[in-house]
Amino acid sequence: MNKAQYFFKNTWKHRAHVVMALPVFIILLLFNYVPMAGLVMAFKRYDYTLGIWGSPFNGIENFKFLIASKDIFINMTKNTVLYYLVFTILGTVLNVALAIAIDQFLIKQAAKVMQTLMIIPVFISYAAVQFIVFAFISTDTGIINNLFGTHFRFYSTASYWPVILTVVKIWNSVGYGSVLYMSVLAGIDQELYEAAEIDGANKWQQIFHITIPSLVPMITVMLLLSVGNIMRSDTGLFYQVTRNNGQLYSTTQVIDSYVLNAIFKNSNFGFVAATTLFQSIVGLLLMLLANGVVRKIEPNDALF
Amino acid sequence: MAKKNLDLAPSGKKQKFGFGQALLGFILLLYTLFCFIPVLLVVVAAFTDEMAINKNGFSLIPEKWSMVGMNAVLRYGKQLAVSYGVTIGITVAGVFIGLFCMSMFAYAISRRDFQLRKFLNVFLIIPMLFSGGQLSSYIIFTSFYGLKDTYWILILPLCVNTMNVIILRTYIANSIPEELMEAAKIDGAGEYRTFFQITLPLLKPSLAAVGFMMATAYWNDWQNALLYITSDNKKPLQLLLVNIQKSIEFLLNNNNVPATVKAAMGGSIPQYSSTMATVLVVVGPIVIVYPFFQKYFVKGLTVGSVKG
């Protein structure tokens, strides 16, 4: 029996599993794979009446346009990447620190209640968060200006926003982000700590030599998964929380919010398509690169 | 010998509650307040008198309480009820469809002997590495599939997620013994019966955790609603929030709106307290339900290797 025959026989034997896999296969195909094919419009002059497939090719015209209007492009790419770096580095450090802190705290009931309260922000949509942020930073009625007797005009000063958005992102995500690491901490063999204690290791030594090393695989997986999103952002944060305010674009415009605006304004589709293709390819290459590096160092932690 | 002593006195009880623990508790408490005060502010502001906010700004201890904001929300009446219905409908449908399809897929690709699983695995991972992006999705979903202003566009794009399938697959691999399923087969149960009567019930913790995360994603989805939904009777709750913001902006930025029009709109100009009351009504249910699912988070959300 040759390989192909064996394969078909095996697939027939598992026909029930093929049927079970079919719904997800179809949904992924329609809602993820077909849009990938749609990226071809980066090389086309999009005509609404002709659709994606019917529009004529125009070679690299769109990319020339992209280079010609490089100020917008460079600004939003810079913002996207810088926010990604800050959110990922700060976020990971805080996720891990919080998970260890909760794990180390001896009054377990109190830790549980506090953790419950810390996770709540992740369940509040950015469409709602923007009203909360407004309550804190509006010029006349905001808590911050009232508390300190200041008169900061946050909504018209771009330079404040990297800090504001970082604080909002941390508030939103760290409580929940620590849960994944807590599930790893719960799995550490307690005898390791007991043995270390007998050997005279203090709390800090235990954290640095037992706790953190056991978190490394999870940190690696989470970082690898996020690398592919370096060109993507939490659109709600940049579109809703900033109220899509044009005065703030120099520090708050990211690729995803630019694309969203372009769709609403029905404009610049060629430029957007070129940008999107660039966004997707950079994400893919960085993910493959990062995964390759990890596979060299620690094959078990690689994604694939 | 030492081991035996430790068994008698577990390490947790042996440690004393010293300065380090007090400091740790204080830091955790500060961070908890940082997370929770903004949430509390929503509740307080929703019941604060409008004049008090205009005079003193937002505050956790308002000068005067009031039900006006909450009443204003209830005056949306029909639209609020419709939007609640839409949001609940798409959340329930989406979670149900998503969990059903994803758990079947996760089960199928965990069968070791299944040759096609390698292909299906790769097929599952690729969307995580590469995507067509918002613009191409938007054009294809609207002009190619004709899904603009339908419930399906709110349900289908969010219902299958690679990460969630991996979580379910990890749970099947780690917590559901292969022998159980083999035993069921020996007893004469078919593939479908094995899945629905053996695997699915055992998958419950993971289904609860993944299902709750999906429910949150559906409940909080404003972007698809904003992109695709045009008719009032299909507007989910989040779109109401977005629309409030839009109408505030419209009134602030349009100096040429005649005074008479502004006066006529007086009743519907969204005010601080009524806006916060709307936020409370939209966000409330998910925050209230979440503690009941929290116990499944640590147990059900373990991510294993992507390779499978």
- Do the beta carbons of residue A38 and residue B140 sit within 8 Å? yes
pTM (two decimals): 0.88
User: Closest Cα of chain B to A152: distance in Å?
Assistant: 14
Q: Is B89 exposed, middle or buried (0-12, 13-18, 19+ CB in 10 A)?
A: middle
Interface test with B, best of A22, A113, A123 (most B CBs within 10 A): A123
Contacts of B123 in chain A (CB under 8 A): 25, 28
CATH superfamily of A72-301: MetI-like (1.10.3720.10)
**A 273-302 residues with CB < 8 A to B:** 273, 276-277, 279-280, 283-284, 287-288, 302
What tens digit of pLDDT does each residue of A190-245 get? 888 989 989 988 888 999 999 999 999 889 888 888 888 888 888 999 999 998 88
Per-residue pLDDT, B5: 37
Per-residue pLDDT, B55: 84
Per the prediction, chain B carries an average pLDDT of: 84
| Interval B86-112 mean pLDDT | 94
Which is higher by pLDDT, B119 or A267?
B119
Tell me how crowded residue A47 is: count the other CB atoms within 10 A of its CB: 12
| Nearest of B115, B294, B267 to residue A21 by alpha carbon | B115
Q: Where are chain B's structural domains?
A: 77-234+281-300
- Chain B: residue whose CA lies nearest to A20: B104
Residues of chain A with CATH 1.10.3720.10: 72-301
Collapsing DSSP states into helix, strand and coil, what is residue A57?
strand
Q: Does B19 touch chain A (CB under 8 A)?
A: no
Amino acid at A53: W
| Nearest of A69, A125, A154, A108 to residue A240 by alpha carbon | A125
Checking if the pLDDT of B8 tops 80, the result is no
CB-nearest partner of A34 from B34, B140, B245: B140
Residue ranges of alpha helices (H) inside B109-203 are 117-129, 133-139, 152-159, 162-175, 178-186, 191-194, 200-202
Checking if the pLDDT of B9 tops 70, the result is no
* Rounded-to-integer distance, Cα A215 and Cα A222, Å: 11
* Rounded-to-integer distance, Cα B191 and Cα B109, Å: 13
Checking if the pLDDT of B79 tops 80, the result is yes
Q: Does B101 touch chain A (CB under 8 A)?
A: yes
| Interval B153-158 mean pLDDT | 95
What tens digit of pLDDT does each residue of A164-175 get? 999 999 999 999
* Rounded-to-integer distance, Cα B179 and Cα B191, Å: 14
Q: What ipTM goes with this model?
A: 0.88
| Interval B260-275 mean pLDDT | 64
Per-residue pLDDT, B129: 85
Per-residue pLDDT, B12: 47
Per the prediction, chain A carries an average pLDDT of: 90
Contacts of A135 in chain B (CB under 8 A): 38, 41, 45, 58, 272, 276
| Nearest of B7, B129, B113, B71 to residue B281 by alpha carbon | B71
* Rounded-to-integer distance, Cα A304 and Cα B305, Å: 8
* Rounded-to-integer distance, Cα A39 and Cα A42, Å: 6
Q: Does B134 touch chain A (CB under 8 A)?
A: yes
Residue ranges of alpha helices (H) inside A123-238 are 126-137, 143-148, 161-185, 190-198, 203-206, 212-227, 235-236
Residue A232 tokens, joined: 């993507």
Which is higher by pLDDT, B31 or B251?
B31
Residue A101 tokens, joined: 């802190």
Interface test with B, best of A5, A18, A28 (most B CBs within 10 A): A28
| Nearest of A82, A180, A83, A163 to residue A122 by alpha carbon | A180
| Interval B232-253 mean pLDDT | 83
A149 contact partners, CB below 8 Å, separation of at least 6: none
Amino acid at B140: I
Return the CATH number of the domain spanning residue range B77-234+281-300.
1.10.3720.10
Residue the block writes with tokens 């798409």: B90
B58:A141 CB<8 A: yes
